[in-house]
Structure 1
Amino acid sequence: MDLLAARLLSVKSAVAPSAGPDGAVLYLSDATGQYQIWRFDGRRHDVYIPWDGRVGGYVVSPKGAVAFSADVGGDERWRIYVAEGDEVRDVAVEGFNNLGAWSPDGSRLAYTSTVERPEDFSLYVFDGGGARKVADLQGINAAVDWCDEGILVEHHESSRDGDIYLASGGEVKNLTKHSGEEVNASPRCLGGSKIAYLTDRWSEYRGIAVMDLKTGEAKPLVQLDREIELFDIWGNYLAYVANEDGYSGLYVMHLPTGLTHKVSVPPGVVTSLSWRFGKLVFSLSGPRVGHEVFVYAGEVRALTDSPKYGVDMSRNAVPEAARFKASDGLEVPLLLYRPQTAPPHKAVFLLHGGPESQARPYFEPLTQLLVRLGYMVVAPNFRGSTGYGKTYVRLDDGERRLNAVRDVAEAVGWLAGQGLVAGRPCVLGGSYGGYLTLMSLALYPDLWACGVEMAGIVNLATFLERTAPWRRRHREAEYGRLEDRELLAKLSPITYADRIAAPLLVIHGVNDIRVPVSEADQLVARLRELGRRVEYLRLEGEGHVFSSAARPKIYGEVAKFVKAYLG
């Protein structure tokens, strides 16, 4: 198992491509052990900017300069820099910063930062000589595009509610003012005083709308019976990505005529899309693809082939989509990764994070390792998951969050009834999936053989008190107000820690700013006090998202733990 685990867990990725004005394609790759900017000029791939830290994102200016963000030790304290030629200049290295957008002439960079107030991302502009604040904003904001009319800012009130601002001449205008919850995101300049953006104003699903900045009038451009997740525009053409039962469909539309065709892409999930300087590039993750960069010019062609460490990707399991009916009549989707042996199988339940996210057919090395070890991996999209409309997302609000825990438990019974699963399974998850893992172990203790919890929330009250300041209001919209201690206690795993009976592996990075390591500390202390079987990997130099270099060891330990208790 050790060599197999090392191979699968070492597979590298290439993500987030964007063309530059010279025709080359830049992208992020973790081939060196952590994400760095790479460049492909049509002949060779090379590291573009050697950097002592993880690069989280970058934007290329019309003049060819590259602004990028990087952190240290997974702390997600993104510092912003600009590289031009052999010179790298500091832009924003204090506070927390969101990389933004270049001005149309490439002379200025917009970004947002908490440098003045830890809970608010205000808008700044860097012009080469220094940075100045141009708009005092509250909450979580990101500069997304820069039109002739001003800077387009995406504001996040919560993961289900947001607006688009236009900042110009020292004034900020809310372009999408609304009541209730409504997603408005990813604005793009169209020229002619028009913008396009994602919104769920008119539907259960996010579509693409167009707004006239002069009149404020907005109307749908593309609205489907499924979610549109990404889009970009170049000239008279629009490319967009639709979520089709978890898989991605890529479409190209001719805007003047509306003529649209579907582009054939490998089965998987498009994770980023960029149409810049006339070149449409995207990254895609799929079970038999890995995570690679592609270009579309009449046909799709792979630009990268990241190291696979001897893994035969064609042997990887492709998930089967299924649905079962919960006890209240709701249909709950799930993905089934089947091993090559005949059923019934020993099973591992993999619970996604978010909670506003979705189990999808990505290339996930740990999933593939577990399947090759003979386990069925079950990835449920319990209520509260995205991809099935905004009504489904809201079904776990408040006290109804316990219904999502019940979905997981009832999926076990359904699969056993289908003759697919035998014996008690193991449950594992990270972040919100870690929270749901603990709640599953506590509220249904007789159901599970073991559990693995990674960077999960243990106590909703202490989590809200200690998470990064700008995240508190955002997370309160999901979990409940800090003042409502009774509800938070009812929904917190620590309240039911004495009911956890299965052996548990807890993994948490010390540098985690989203879910502080104190969450894991208190859980482990309580379980040890109760005499429970608990192992703890407390990871120095790691944050909420484990580094590429550390993942083989971490996930190797997960596989060993699962094998020890499932056999």
Structure 2
Amino acid sequence: MDLVKRVLSVRAATTPRRGPGGVLYYLSDVTGHMLLWKFDGGKHDVVLPWDDRIGDYRVSKDGALAFVSDKDGDEKWRLYLADNEVYEISAEGVNNLGAWSPDGLKLAFTSTRDGQSDFNVYVYDRSLRKAEKIAEIPGINVVEEWSEAGVFITHYETNLDSTIYLYKDGQLRELTKHSGEALNHSPRYVGNGKLLFLTNADWEYVGIAQMDLSTGNWKYIVQLDRDIEHFDVWGSYLIFAVNEEGRSGLYQMHIPSGLTYKLASPSGVVTHLDFKDGVLAFSLSSINKGHEVYIYQQGAVRQITHSPKFGAPIHNIPEPASVWYPSFDGRKIQANLYYPPGEAKGVVVYLHGGPESQDRPEFKPLIAALLIAGYAVAAPNYRGSTGFGKTFTHLDDLERRWDAIKDVVAFGKWLESQGIAKKKPCVLGGSYGGYLTLMALATAPEMWSCGVEMVGIFNLVTFLERTAPWRRRYREAEYGSLDKHRELLQQLSPATHVEKIQAPLLVVHGVNDIRVPLYEAEQLVQRLRELGRDVTFIVLPDEGHTITKIHNRVRVYSEVIQFIEKQFSV
């Protein structure tokens, strides 16, 4: 297990942003949890000591730093300002970082500090050390830009439907009015009354659009048959990242002429980019390189961070293969096949969360550790996954969730038919992937050697009743309404089918989980024990929906791999 523990100890660096004087800031967990670091071109250093995880940050014009932090993974983000000293801006409710004013004297953010469900818009004045509410908008809202044109806010009606507002001089104006579902987000004001933003309005995939703020008229300037996920603009040049069957392609475009070319960049998934003064800073995650910060300048890529790998041979992990398999109804489903450096001892089917997400060849410590331990990992992007167009994302809505479950079972059969799984695979997933793990174990009990369920949903009804208040309406948009679809929710719940689960199961859950409360795991474990099933339960008192502490990650994921090895050796 020594190599496994080394892989699970691998550190990461992400979210680069350039501040005054060209100083590069980024987040790194070198110390054991995410802290804010800076690189001045000569040396790297921690910006300030901090006992808890830092989740995000913004740098003002004069170098003041706003950041959010939570405690023991509870995701109740508290907002702080570091300006010669560190002081609290907003600690009640949940706080989302926003944007500095152009002069750097004020900070706009959104918060549930005055309620439980709505992220209203606030402005913090550094000179007064006081926050004032400027706008009330129901639901989830994020301040994304503050320029001379005003404050740009993205409002999410659901996870897949959003609109951009402009706040100026006490007035709130909806910029991206639309009928039907459309994502509109990531506004960037580029001067002369022009706004760039991401949208999939009237299209299957997310592209880049330009709007004339004086008229509200807009048009696509980049429209592809793939999603554009990040972009930034400097002068007349645009940099954007495209989801190319999971991997990221980086492109530069000269906006006036439309001339576009692909940048040479490492293979992996771009997680953030920042483009200023002709210099692109970006973070990229790769299954065999880790998660690092890079600079692209004058046609060359330079790796800026070299996070500790603890001697873990992740560089020996092959690039995953992208395959398409036929599901129960003939529909082709994309999947990633990760192979270990040597011969595989067995196959673990990994089910991603979301479901509005996608398995991509990024660095996931548990997946990397399974590969180094000698297991192949097979990850399907079942119906409901993102990255394959709006229509595909809705193929699991309401009663069609059964089709996503059937996609997983069909994948297990395909792995066997192709000779990839020579013995019964183990199925593993977290959050929604944990839900799907339980449903797969129940609907095809003879197929699996074991299951690992982490922070998953056992009963869709109790989950919706107990999840954080601000999340409920968004999750109901995905799963169904407690008022209208209670019977369907019950039928689609693992709780209704738990008697069919036969394979040994390992359950992992954090006490501080506000997304999927611990009660889901407690119900599951109690019921399985009443049925006399083989179930192991790991409760983490100092974690939430994700494992945020390195020592917990090493310990718990090591136990996960030992559990899987035990089942494959039977």
Q: When the two structures are superposed, what TM-score results if normalisation uses the length of structure 2?
A: 0.97
1:428-507 matches, cutoff 5 A: 428-483=428-483, 484-507=485-508
1:246-285 matches, cutoff 5 A: 246-276=246-276, 279-285=279-285
Q: Structure 1, residues 172-206: CA drift from partner, whole Å, max 9, x if none? A: 11111112211111111111121111110132110
The DSSP-based 3-state class of the residue aligned with 2:559 is: helix
The DSSP-based 3-state class of the residue aligned with 2:442 is: helix
* Correspondence for 1:90 among 74, 88, 91: 88
8 Å CA contact retained: 1:424, 1:448? yes
Q: Structure 1, residues 26-52: CA drift from partner, whole Å, max 9, x if none? A: 000000110000000011111012111
8 Å CA contact retained: 1:370, 1:377? yes
8 Å CA contact retained: 2:7, 2:314? no
1:511 aligns with 512
- What is the one-letter code of the residue matched to 1:491? L
Q: Structure 1, residues 406-443: CA drift from partner, whole Å, max 9, x if none? A: 11111111121112211211000011111110110111
CA distance in 1, matches of 2:273, 2:391: 27
CA distance in 1, matches of 2:281, 2:258: 21
CA distance in 2, matches of 1:341, 1:194: 54
1:179 aligns with 179
CA distance in 1, matches of 2:268, 2:68: 27
- What is the one-letter code of the residue matched to 1:37? L
The DSSP-based 3-state class of the residue aligned with 1:116 is: coil
Residues 1:551 and 2:553 aligned together = yes
Report the Cα offset of residue 167 of structure 1: 1.2
Report the Cα offset of residue 278 of structure 1: 5.2
CA distance in 2, matches of 1:191, 1:15: 29
The DSSP-based 3-state class of the residue aligned with 1:327 is: coil
- What is the one-letter code of the residue matched to 2:559? E
Report the Cα offset of residue 341 of structure 1: 4.7
2:51 aligns with 52
The DSSP-based 3-state class of the residue aligned with 1:396 is: coil
- What is the one-letter code of the residue matched to 2:326? K
The DSSP-based 3-state class of the residue aligned with 1:22 is: helix
2:13 aligns with 14
* Correspondence for 1:125 among 110, 123, 126: 123
1:249-398 matches, cutoff 5 A: 249-276=249-276, 279-298=279-298, 299-341=300-342, 346-398=346-398
Question: How much is the aligned-residue C-alpha RMSD, in angstroms?
Answer: 1.2
CA distance in 2, matches of 1:26, 1:456: 34
CA distance in 1, matches of 2:464, 2:80: 31
Q: Structure 1, residues 99-136: CA drift from partner, whole Å, max 9, x if none? A: 00011111110000111121000000001111100001
8 Å CA contact retained: 1:454, 1:507? yes
The DSSP-based 3-state class of the residue aligned with 1:186 is: strand
- Residue ranges of structure 1 left out of the alignment (5+ in a row): none
8 Å CA contact retained: 1:317, 1:371? no
Q: Structure 1, residues 41-67: CA drift from partner, whole Å, max 9, x if none? A: 011111012111100000111121111
Report the Cα offset of residue 551 of structure 1: 0.8
Paired residues in the alignment total 564
8 Å CA contact retained: 2:181, 2:201? no
The DSSP-based 3-state class of the residue aligned with 1:88 is: strand
1:41 aligns with 40
8 Å CA contact retained: 2:317, 2:340? no
8 Å CA contact retained: 1:210, 1:218? yes
- What is the one-letter code of the residue matched to 2:94? F
The DSSP-based 3-state class of the residue aligned with 1:232 is: strand
CA distance in 1, matches of 2:542, 2:447: 35
1:215-230 matches, cutoff 5 A: 215-230=215-230
8 Å CA contact retained: 2:366, 2:557? yes
Report the Cα offset of residue 531 of structure 1: 1.0
2:413 aligns with 413
The DSSP-based 3-state class of the residue aligned with 1:405 is: helix
Report the Cα offset of residue 543 of structure 1: 0.8
8 Å CA contact retained: 1:79, 1:97? yes
CA distance in 2, matches of 1:4, 1:255: 48
CA distance in 2, matches of 1:11, 1:337: 19
8 Å CA contact retained: 1:155, 1:163? yes
- What is the one-letter code of the residue matched to 2:544? G
CA distance in 1, matches of 2:114, 2:374: 53
2:108 aligns with 110
8 Å CA contact retained: 2:237, 2:252? yes
8 Å CA contact retained: 1:332, 1:382? yes
CA distance in 2, matches of 1:340, 1:293: 26
- What is the one-letter code of the residue matched to 2:189? C
8 Å CA contact retained: 1:120, 1:140? yes
Report the Cα offset of residue 312 of structure 1: 2.4
Between 430-439 and 278-287, report the one with greater CA deviation.
278-287
Work out the percentage of aligned pairs sharing the same amino acid: 53
8 Å CA contact retained: 1:17, 1:283? yes
Residues 1:532 and 2:533 aligned together = yes
- What is the one-letter code of the residue matched to 1:530? L
- What is the one-letter code of the residue matched to 2:111? S
